[in-house]
Amino acid sequence: MSYPAGILRSAIRDDDIRMRIGAVSGKRLKDIKRGLVTFHALELMAVNIYKYQITPRATELNRHLIAAMCNEMTHLQDFQVKLYEYGWRPSPLRWAYWIVGFLFGTCSRLGGARAILKTGVWVETKALHHYARLLAAVDWDEDTRKIIEKNQGDEYGHIERWKSLLRE
């Protein structure tokens, strides 16, 4: 499935929010919860990586980092909404992902633009592996699957952007 490049936030309407409590049960429910909690924590880490890579300079790289951070914040919100639709909450251990994001972001920023871009490619490649694994392993509801596929497409876009900037 293909999604338009350059869109950082997709529209979400009031009718798009649906209560999913009791819609599924058993192993499927457990797998969906595990997947959503994982996606939420990893997107929190991604937001922090970009947040802490941004410097106070007016550069094209910072503009791209801000756009990527905004896009990752949208992913974070997507998964948080899905968690609440099913009656769950984000993991109480998500603070650990926040810290990892802070560390990756700060350390790569200290290494300069090349380190920032290489970190971006590496992290987004790892994200794609998580997306592919969880898309294949979990029997998602149709609405959630569409969101996951859109977010996965965004991660491909991030990798291409960082690779393109590395070649320049």
In order of their start, the domains of the chain are: 25-167 (1.20.1260.10)
Tokens of 135: 């898309």
- 14: which DSSP letter? G
- Mean pLDDT, rounded, for 120-145: 96
Residue 124, pLDDT > 50, answer yes
Residue 94, pLDDT > 50, answer yes
Q: Is 23 within 8 Å of 89 (Cβ atoms)? A: no
Residue 1, pLDDT > 70, answer no
The confidence score (pLDDT) of residue 2 equals: 46
Q: What is the pLDDT of residues 4-24, one digit of tens each?
A: 567 778 888 999 999 999 989
* End-to-end CA, the chain: 29
CA distance 23 to 25: 7
The confidence score (pLDDT) of residue 4 equals: 55
E strands, 4-138, where?
none
Tokens of 68: 């990527």
Tokens of 166: 């590395």
Residue 22: is it exposed, middle or buried by C-beta count within 10 angstroms (0-12/13-18/19+)?
exposed
Tokens of 119: 């970190």
